[in-house]
Structure 1
Amino acid sequence: MKNTIKLIMVVVFVTLFGCDDYLEVLPPGQENTENFFNSAEDYENALIGVYDLLSTTYLNQILGEIASDNSLCGGENPTDVLDWQQIDDMTHNPDNGALRNIFQWMYAGISRANYIIEFKDKTDFDRKNQVLAETKFLRSYYYFELVKFFGGVPMYLDKRISIEEAQSINKSTKEEIYAQLERDLLEVANILPWQQSQPGRATRGAALALLGKVYLYQEKYSDAAQTFDLVINSGQYSLVTDFAMIFSNQNENNSESVFEIQYFGQEGGGFGCFQCVEGNIAVGFMGPRFRSGNYAPYADGFSFNIPSLAIVNAYQAGDTRQAATFFNINDFVATRPDVTFTVGHDHNGYFNFKYIPFAEGNAPDPHLTHSNNYRAIRFADVLLMAAEAHVQGGSAGSAQIYLDRVRDRAFGNTTNRITATLANILQERRLELAGEGHRFFDQVRTGETATIPGFTTDKNELFPIPRIEIELAGNNWCQNKGYSSSTCSEQ
């Protein structure tokens, strides 16, 4: 998929939609679909465009760590990418540009999905049911990201919207959105295959894993446990023996990958249109600021998303995940005396090793076009979510089995097992998934936010709806609690 779908995305969807198709708002009388969706190829190409917006979730990953107690913002100085610095300090407001990007980009993906669904009956072809199932999975993925960040948001289903509709549609509650995601994911899980011919396409396992996550976030523990068990017992996935190999560019789409976002490092892109870039932008932003010497096989970066010493020091002796998760630049330079680097803001000597930039012939800007895939849902993540759901539902036996599998891989033996209590499982999630963008949302949903610097209870559980989006919608949406002095404020 990396070498096929990604290349088609560039050609097809810059032509179809361009770079700035947030809601696909259509001026009256300018809808032009009579020359499209006339063949299977049209539908397949449109679906590629829905996948394409997954590349923008690099930002969701970075902010999911920076907002938590796992990470410091970093960068060159305290004002470098101020939108990220504000989120690190919990001083962000409704004018934060990074939050608006997430809002826009997730809705752009939703709108592309709705475009297909709107014309689902125009032409019949053999793979139509699977195309629609993949489309609904992706729409669910984008909506889930929106709910995680913003809570209740407007829900647009099954068609694009006009300018007038954009100004009259109210926000749905997060409960309403979760209910729709449950319906869609239950439907597509019965259609999608366990395996696809191209890596990165939605599968039954991905749909069930996301459905289980939707249940878990609603504290529907019995439903979550049963759903995760279907994934675990399917026999489709297994843990990679060597933790350090999970994130290797030579080991992408491996046995542990339930859903993996594909990136391509040799396609053009620039700072003027981040949603047009086919490479993994997060990787270049998180790398060390190398300046001279032989630092191969790595490339230099912008030193953002610095792991906190709290998470670096949280691992027990013998836990192989520590060395595989954090890049210690001082140890590296000690073996490469010719290498120099610039010390950035929040520097403590550590960087995210899971997503470190490699020198790989990426072009034209090596900071924007790395090919490291994002492991969006890993089998270890599923095992730990299942363990959590089981222990919350009173089934400690299953929880213990799942926790043991993750711990045994981490230590390479069975002598470091711990009891499957809720606290131990949540701590294991932190250790296992550090640097992968899940930590802040885990902290919020479990109420463990006291260790987040600057966090204000009953406010920072959600991010603010971008102010300009509220204004563009005719001021019909209430702002999230704590971000507005207006009486129109809701959770």
Structure 2
Amino acid sequence: MNNFKLKIGALLSSAAMMVAVSCSDDFLDVPPTGVLAENQLSTVAGLEASLIAAYSQVNGRANRLASASNWVWGSIRGGEANKGTDPGDFATINPIQRFETNSASGDIGAKWNGAYEGIARANSVLRLMQNPAPDVTEADITRISAQARFLRGHYYFELKRDYNNTPYVDENVDYGSGLEEVSNNQDLWPFIEADFKYAVDNLPPTQPQVGRVNQYAAKAYLAKVYLYQGKYSEAKTLFDDVIANGVTSNGVKYGLVDQYQNLWRGAFDNNQETVWAYQSAAGTGSVNNANPEFDLNFPYNSAAPGVCCGFYQPSFSFVNSFRTDSNGLPLLDRQYNVGANQVKNDMNLGSGSDFTPDTGNLDPRLDHTVGRRGIPYLDWQDHPGASWIRNQPNGGPYSPKKYVYSRDEVGSFQDNSSWTPGYTGLNVYIIRFSDVLLMSAEADIETGNLETARAKVNMVRERAQNSNLEREDGTLAANYVVGLYESPWTDATVARKAVRLERMLELGMEGHRFYDLVRWGIVNEEMNAYLQYEAQFLSSAFGGATFTDPYIYNPIPLDQIDLVGSDILIQNPGF
């Protein structure tokens, strides 16, 4: 920034000298400060800065519902959590969790706006390279283009999952004219595939800076795109390559972090499980460089981390799913919501009332994902129950735990520069290696390789076996029992159920669940069972709520239709 100011200063000095020898008024044509000309941005430095801007939009840039974490669109809509807190706080999320939104809803366009901002930034990079400065080499164009197209593919993938088909705009569209004529009558999948294929073909296996996407991240993402379309053979080929040969951006072989809980600690950012995560930093002077979308999602108490505001409370159904049988295996077919399989909780109990936590068999990933009474909440204290919950009748008895900073991380991976200390510098995973293993297991099942799928699921479960939560005295915080699938998988239907539940256990509260249910074709039955179950405990939040087919996608935002007309921007069915 200082160099830029010096250059402007030099230009002004030159202009002042010119006035002494000339009557011309050309010296008055001074470029406005704070605005960069295209020829400045088409240099290598300018292109890199523009590319970083495209990367930075991945976290939503202060729009809590626009980021790739998808805590509302993926996890709240997927039944892993509810909005929590008070009914009147951020009330526009209430109809989202009840599947009662309409096209005029205040937040239905949040993801739309955030994704198109990212697309505009990626397109800007690609457009600038059509007239590169002399210092830009062909190699520069290839590596920068590959990253920009990866990011554009990501933003369109987010739009596709949330709104189905939306207007496709690339770097060749003239933003000065004709943009209003772009319709959403084209399938986005071919465009998304093309961007990721370009990234696969042109990205290097490793990158000089962590956080930049590499070839293996592109292969994993392209395989995910194939999986969503039911192209299982194509997905399997790519997943197999990523598992066998993939490395992180800094060249470390992909693998699972030894203990599940370390995935959420800042000291382990950019670990061997990171296929792609957006980079977060605390104490930079802007909380938008941290995690601006999670600032509300902390226990509601001045003694708790984050202090505010009680959002994103794990659901009863989600917590119950961590119940295991005598062999340590999960209970399939929603048996975890029946009778004694339901995890004991302190609903309707004050913190001063006696309470003994559940003593049955549980998967330890529960207590690294959910804060529940009587169990250590990171290194802060045992969760005290109701005194850390803003409104139990509206949100239930549980608190979120992933992406919450520990006491040891205060001031390093936690930011104190804004209204709340709830901004963290913990990286947020978009694709991690256990996700790849489980997606690959799905592709294996659908291509008839059930035993290969079982081995991959067992890899994930074996890590869970080694991830018990211990108290300071070394005793276990709960009765953790996790087993492996020892018997061969011969029934594809049973194998599917096992993999699908494993994804919830492993990736819970990470924004995947709703999208998984939709692509599996089971969202209607799963979400209606969930809504009915939760309404028993949270009648004001869920009573009378139902899921219907139109809500597989969000409505196209009405304000966008109003801009161009309903004959150009076509509303999704049912809205």
- Is the 1:391–1:399 Cα contact (8 Å) retained in structure 2? yes
Correspondence for 1:474? 565
- Is the 1:150–1:463 Cα contact (8 Å) retained in structure 2? yes
Q: Does 1:396 align with 2:450?
A: yes
Among residues 300, 310, 333, which one is paired with 1:303 in the alignment? 310
More displaced 10-residue stretch of structure 1: 313-322 or 39-48: 313-322
Correspondence for 1:61? 71
Correspondence for 1:84? 93
> Partners of 2:564 and 2:94 in 1: how far apart?
28
How many Å apart are 1:302 and its aligned residue? 1.3
- Going from structure 1 to structure 2, the CA distance change for 1:161 and 1:307 (only over 3 Å counts) comes to farther
Equivalent residue letter for 1:458: D
Equivalent residue letter for 2:147: E
How many Å apart are 1:389 and its aligned residue? 0.9
User: For residues 91-115 of structure 1, what are the alpha-carbon distances to aligned partners after superposition, in whole Å with 9 as ceiling and x for unaligned?
Assistant: 1111222221110110010011111
Among residues 103, 125, 142, which one is paired with 1:116 in the alignment? 125
Give matches, 1:308-387, under 5 Å: 308-315=315-322, 316=324, 317=361, 319-332=363-376, 335=382, 340-344=387-391, 346-358=394-406, 359=410, 360-366=414-420, 369-387=423-441
- Going from structure 1 to structure 2, the CA distance change for 1:344 and 1:198 (only over 3 Å counts) comes to farther
Equivalent residue letter for 1:479: Q
Equivalent residue letter for 1:465: I
- C-alpha RMSD over aligned residues: 2.7
How many Å apart are 1:332 and its aligned residue? 4.7
Correspondence for 1:427? 501
Q: SS in structure 1 opposite 2:302?
A: strand
Q: SS in structure 1 opposite 2:550?
A: coil
> Partners of 2:82 and 2:387 in 1: how far apart?
22
Correspondence for 2:201? 190
Equivalent residue letter for 1:302: C
- Is the 2:75–2:512 Cα contact (8 Å) retained in structure 1? yes
- Is the 2:363–2:482 Cα contact (8 Å) retained in structure 1? no
Correspondence for 2:511? 437
Correspondence for 1:138? 151
How many Å apart are 1:152 and its aligned residue? 0.5
Equivalent residue letter for 2:242: V
- Going from structure 1 to structure 2, the CA distance change for 1:437 and 1:415 (only over 3 Å counts) comes to closer
Equivalent residue letter for 2:457: L
Q: SS in structure 1 opposite 2:264?
A: coil
How many Å apart are 1:455 and its aligned residue? 4.4
- Is the 1:458–1:481 Cα contact (8 Å) retained in structure 2? no
Correspondence for 2:281? 264
- Is the 1:266–1:369 Cα contact (8 Å) retained in structure 2? no
Q: State TM-score, norm by structure 2.
A: 0.72
Q: Does 1:240 align with 2:257?
A: yes
More displaced 10-residue stretch of structure 1: 117-126 or 78-87: 117-126
Identity %: 28
Q: State TM-score, norm by structure 1.
A: 0.84
- Is the 1:267–1:364 Cα contact (8 Å) retained in structure 2? no
Correspondence for 1:102? 111
Q: SS in structure 1 opposite 2:39?
A: coil
User: For residues 176-227 of structure 1, what are the alpha-carbon distances to aligned partners after superposition, in whole Å with 9 as ceiling and x for unaligned?
Assistant: 3111221221121122122222221111111111101110110111111111
More displaced 10-residue stretch of structure 1: 408-417 or 333-342: 333-342
- Is the 1:362–1:370 Cα contact (8 Å) retained in structure 2? no
More displaced 10-residue stretch of structure 1: 366-375 or 377-386: 366-375
Among residues 553, 561, 569, which one is paired with 1:462 in the alignment? 553
Equivalent residue letter for 1:256: E
Q: Does 1:204 align with 2:296?
A: no
User: For residues 225-252 of structure 1, what are the alpha-carbon distances to aligned partners after superposition, in whole Å with 9 as ceiling and x for unaligned?
Assistant: 1111111111520001101111111111
> Partners of 1:368 and 1:267 in 2: how far apart?
15
Q: SS in structure 2 opposite 1:194?
A: coil
More displaced 10-residue stretch of structure 1: 47-56 or 315-324: 315-324
> Partners of 1:39 and 1:32 in 2: how far apart?
12
> Partners of 1:365 and 1:331 in 2: how far apart?
29
User: For residues 406-442 of structure 1, what are the alpha-carbon distances to aligned partners after superposition, in whole Å with 9 as ceiling and x for unaligned?
Assistant: 1111123994226651111111111111000000100
Q: SS in structure 2 opposite 1:377?
A: strand
Correspondence for 1:168? 181
- Is the 2:299–2:310 Cα contact (8 Å) retained in structure 1? yes
Q: Which runs of 5+ in 1 are unaligned?
A: 1-6, 12-30, 271-276, 484-491
Give matches, 1:5-16, under 5 Å: none
Correspondence for 2:484? 416
Correspondence for 1:488? none
- Going from structure 1 to structure 2, the CA distance change for 1:144 and 1:245 (only over 3 Å counts) comes to same
User: For residues 135-158 of structure 1, what are the alpha-carbon distances to aligned partners after superposition, in whole Å with 9 as ceiling and x for unaligned?
Assistant: 000000000000000000000012
Correspondence for 1:279? 290
- Is the 1:167–1:474 Cα contact (8 Å) retained in structure 2? no
- Is the 2:173–2:179 Cα contact (8 Å) retained in structure 1? no
> Partners of 1:411 and 1:54 in 2: how far apart?
33
Q: SS in structure 1 opposite 2:275?
A: strand
Q: SS in structure 1 opposite 2:429?
A: strand
Correspondence for 1:147? 160
User: For residues 22-66 of structure 1, what are the alpha-carbon distances to aligned partners after superposition, in whole Å with 9 as ceiling and x for unaligned?
Assistant: xxxxxxxxx985433342101100100100101111562332111
Among residues 114, 136, 140, which one is paired with 1:127 in the alignment? 140
Correspondence for 1:73? 83
Q: SS in structure 1 opposite 2:296?
A: helix
Correspondence for 1:221? 232
Q: Which runs of 5+ in 2 are unaligned?
A: 6-34, 61-66, 248-253, 325-360, 467-480, 490-494, 532-544
> Partners of 1:356 and 1:337 in 2: how far apart?
17
- Is the 2:79–2:315 Cα contact (8 Å) retained in structure 1? yes
> Partners of 2:512 and 2:444 in 1: how far apart?
20
- Going from structure 1 to structure 2, the CA distance change for 1:368 and 1:113 (only over 3 Å counts) comes to farther
> Partners of 2:311 and 2:512 in 1: how far apart?
17
- Is the 1:325–1:435 Cα contact (8 Å) retained in structure 2? yes
- Going from structure 1 to structure 2, the CA distance change for 1:36 and 1:472 (only over 3 Å counts) comes to farther
Q: SS in structure 1 opposite 2:519?
A: helix
How many Å apart are 1:363 and its aligned residue? 1.2
- Going from structure 1 to structure 2, the CA distance change for 1:88 and 1:367 (only over 3 Å counts) comes to farther
Q: SS in structure 2 opposite 1:72?
A: strand
Among residues 21, 40, 43, which one is paired with 1:39 in the alignment? 43
